[in-house]
Amino acid sequence: MEESGTTGEGRRLAAGAQCLIAFALSTILYVLAFPPLDSGETAFVFAAPIIIYGLFGKPARWEGLQLFGFGWLAWFILMSWLRHCTSSLEIPFAGIFGIFLTALLSLVLSLFWSSWCWITLKCVRWTKHDPVAYRLVLILGLAALWVVLEWLRGVIFTGLPWLPLSVSQWNRNFILQVVALTGGAGLSFVLIVFNFGVAYPVYTYWTNRRGSWMSRLSFELYLAMIVLVVSIGSGIYTAKFAQYPRVEGPKLGFVQPNAGVELKWDMERVNDNLKVLEDLSTYASYLGAELILWPESPTPLPLKGDYRMQQWAEDLSARLGIPILAGNIARENELDDNGNRWYNAVFTVHPETGLNSEDYYRKRRLVPFGEYIPLTGMIPFIDKFVPIDANFGKGESAEPISFNPDELDARKIGNLICYEDIFPPLARANTLEGANWHYVATNNAWFGEGAGAWQHAAHSILRAVETRRPVVRCGNAGWSGWIDEYGNIRHVMMDDSNSIYFQGVDAVKFSRCSYWSGRMSIYVQHGDWFVALSGALLLVIGFLGYWLKSPRRLPQA
């Protein structure tokens, strides 16, 4: 009995060690796939250790809890830049509070990752002895589940679709083109299927190593290869239009003030901040800029609602003889229906007509606890614990803004502010409204000088390919540059040390692919159809799996 107990305890320890190794390896591979490490190839194999463990290993204790812990760790590492967002708060232990918020958000994000891994583990064990057709259907179902969970993450809890799996391929142009057809969801689906295609051959070969060569064939690998080839082939087909001539647009002057978060709003430094903005804008005109770009809210006073600020901007544009596309703040005279008068906005300032204070873009997706306080209707006292200076109003329109559409068609601009470029439906709405290119005005100074700005910019590349519209970005601290319709980074501002975090200015010629002028990609036309298809596929496979594996259908002894 003692030997048996010892053996049993040894087996449990071995199972626990296998579990830890598999989960830790998957966590490492998942983190490696995204910026700043940018090993996108690991996205093709990150789940393979968990799948292989499910196929070979014995169930260990507390697997679900361990998966949740490793998922939390992965997201805490990926979101570690978030701790800087509280650095400017005048509260005790602001740094510790930032770490706490990072840990809390990582916990929420890990729920989706760990839930999928746990379900996958159970399903793989459940079907590993079933016919190959069952396993192939299971793979498609679990890939569809990943797609649905990513979509849910962008909808519930105010929505945060940060770093979907597809973003790991942001600089792998050959595989990225399929998102013009399916959106990012289709690319995530392909990557998940390929993870199974890597894991199952290991199991098939090992369990049939003494059998015939036919028995060692892995149909799961063939399924993965077919899905990959189809996605790349369809993407290449839509990318063939890159050979069409390009339409020249304005020479863009990127103004990157690199103003610290706390310094920009210091009323005692208003003149200093404006002097920096003026000097950089003037230098952009010397470089030949035909359109000057300002990032999100570079001035300490609202461009609309403060006459002095408006006059200053209009005088600058008139003196330079160059229009300005300005991220800024609007303060309306009258309250809207929700009692708000403030908006995070993008304006046009023309050297002849001045500020267009009527047709400006209002931010549609606000930052919770930064621009508004959620749940105030359900928890009336929450604003006492999370004080912000003003609730911002929410914009509704995706209508592009322009300077002179009769003069230059390329100036019909769809706008995205701050983190709006991580939400695919917003860029799609811009395109449906007639935008010829997207402008992202952001302030990445909140993120510190870590991975935040690079992760943020990676989403813009997917928006460019999905909509087949160039994306131009201007950040307060970085990433400033532009991306063409096929996900190619045409320009990014860097200093002599190849850093994006610096104060500077640059002027770069901008162009558009003539083929996509007036044309819409499949994704823009039909939206998240692939998510809907994945949801339907998941329901059908889930029902069939339950029905076929139900004890009532098993043969009676």
Highest mean pLDDT, choosing among 15-19, 280-284, 303-307, 444-448: 280-284
Instruction: Tell me the average pLDDT across 218-224.
Output: 90
This prediction has a pTM of 0.91
Helix (H), strand (E) counts: the chain:
17, 12
User: Is residue 332 classed exposed, middle or buried when 0-12, 13-18 and 19+ CB atoms within 10 A define those classes?
Assistant: middle
Q: Encode pLDDT of 311-327 as tens digits.
A: 999 999 999 999 999 99
Compute the distance between CA of residue 323 and CA of residue 508 in angstroms, rounded to an integer: 15
> Reduced to 3 states, what is the DSSP secondary structure of residue 398?
coil
State the pLDDT at residue 89: 56
Q: Chain-wide mean pLDDT for the chain?
A: 86
Do the beta carbons of residue 506 and residue 281 sit within 8 Å? Answer: no
Do the beta carbons of residue 470 and residue 184 sit within 8 Å? Answer: no
| Contacts for 253 with CB less than 8 Å, ≥ 6 apart | 281, 284, 285, 287, 289, 290, 291, 292, 293, 322, 505, 506, 507
Tokens of residue 539, six digits: 């329901």
DSSP-derived letter for residue 469 is: -
Chain CA centroid to CA 47, Å? 20
Q: Is the dihedral of CA 208, 210, 211, 213 positive or negative?
A: positive
State the pLDDT at residue 492: 95
Q: Which residues pair with 329 in a beta bridge?
A: 344
Compute the distance between CA of residue 298 and CA of residue 85 in angstroms, rounded to an integer: 17
Compute the distance between CA of residue 148 and CA of residue 165 in angstroms, rounded to an integer: 12
State the pLDDT at residue 129: 83
Chain CA centroid to CA 41, Å? 18
DSSP-derived letter for residue 59 is: P
State the pLDDT at residue 3: 46
CA atoms within 13 A on the CB side of 136: 13
Do the beta carbons of residue 204 and residue 218 sit within 8 Å? Answer: yes
Chain CA centroid to CA 406, Å? 34
State the pLDDT at residue 300: 80
Distances in whole angstroms, Cα of residue 220 to Cα of each of 47, 194, 242: 15, 9, 34
Q: Which residues pair with 417 in a beta bridge?
A: 441
Distances in whole angstroms, Cα of residue 260 to Cα of each of 3, 101, 159: 66, 21, 27
Output 25 or 240, whichever has higher pLDDT. 25
Q: Which residues pair with 361 in a beta bridge?
A: 346
